[in-house]
Amino acid sequence: MALKTVRDVDVQGKRVLVRVDFNVPLKNGKVMDDWRLRATVPTIRYLTERGVQVILISHLGRPKGKRDEKHSLRPVAQRLSELLGQPVAFAEDCVGEVAERAVAALQPGEVLLLENLRFHEGEEADDEAFAQQLAKLADVLVNDAFGAAHRAHASVHAIAKFLPPVAGLLMEREVTHLGRLLQHPEKPFVAALGGAKVSDKIGVLRNLLDKVDALLIGGAMAFTFLKAQGYETGKSLVEADRLDLAKVLLNEAKGKGVELVLPVDVVVADCDADDAATQVVPSDAVPKDKAGYDIGPETARLFAARIKPAKTVFWNGPMGRFERAPFKAGTKAIAEALAECQGTTVIGGGETAASAFEFGVADKLTHVSTGGGAALEFLEGQELPGIAVLI
């Protein structure tokens, strides 16, 4: 997939509107995780080094089209300033007179962050009038917000009618690495999928079955597959309305010659508390009064044995409730196996990315996607609105 990028246009000395994904967690007015900010720094520096007046736009949280100070991007401007090593100006609005005055005051090489796009209903409504107000602020539009590319919102979609966009360096990297998984994955190709629900991963499961050599299923979603095989799953999360689908997917994998690997043991407990008493049981014999919250040690070894020698690995979804101390081991084992793999290793965003950083392996992987939902929809083969306008 060939994207027109920021390298393909003359930006020297111009005003450039950059759609970024600064939807980051805040606590007490501080950015708690600055990974998405750091991921956009190369694009911002590319522009400032060319004397560009950089105007950054982003959403944060779900303020429902109204101003809500707890969703203000002001703390983000402060943290970004520290990362860039230069001041980042902040405007109290993203359109109208306030935004226009802030843009007019910018000098070449300076950076401005505008207030939360979602303080206006027009953003999520993909409203053309709102998009036009954004477009009038700049000469060039750069979309570097892969994490928002699956949303048909004004700043990623409607705006393309008024200011044709090009991809930023992060967007280019995302599409390149994820695209290779679909088009030219080096074999053997192993995918490890976790998370809570089969329903969240149906599209990815189906699309990857035509491309992978092995599919490793962990997380709570594994219990739907185990139940479909007639196993006792106790109080584990099972999607009863997806049992027939699980059977179909198991048969499809068999028919395509794909090794679909399910847990052989699981960690069970009465609850998912930090002080829960746990035990490891075979995956076909979960006690009726307990639920499974992680893959067991033998399953972790089984999965790692397929991941480490692979030439290509994609991982999305934790192997258990890794936020809780008793249920971290499975996800940690998969993260460490990917770090040891000498092939191409790509992981989806969201919780999977968070676990890679928590376990200290993110810098050992080929690519950590900044988009959770966007990465999944991309790998389902769907057309993403924010990418379609870049082609």
Backbone angle region of 202, left / alpha / beta, with phi > 0 → left and psi within -120 to 50 → alpha? alpha
Strands 26-27 and 30-31: antiparallel
Q: Classify each residue of 29-48 as buried b or exposed e, where b means 16 or more C-beta atoms within 10 Å of its C-beta.
A: eebeebbbbebbbebbbbbb
Cβ atoms of residues 356 and 317 within 8 Å: no
What SS3 state is found at 125?
A: coil
**Max CA distance (Å), the chain:** 67
* Cα–Cα distance measured from residue 22 to residue 38, given in angstroms and rounded to the nearest whole number: 10
DSSP type of residue 4: P
Cβ atoms of residues 154 and 176 within 8 Å: no
> Which residues are the active-site residues?
36, 197, 350, 373
Cβ atoms within 10 Å of 362's Cβ, excluding its own: 19
Nearest CA among 36, 18, 321, 345 for reference residue 191: 345
What SS3 state is found at 368?
A: strand
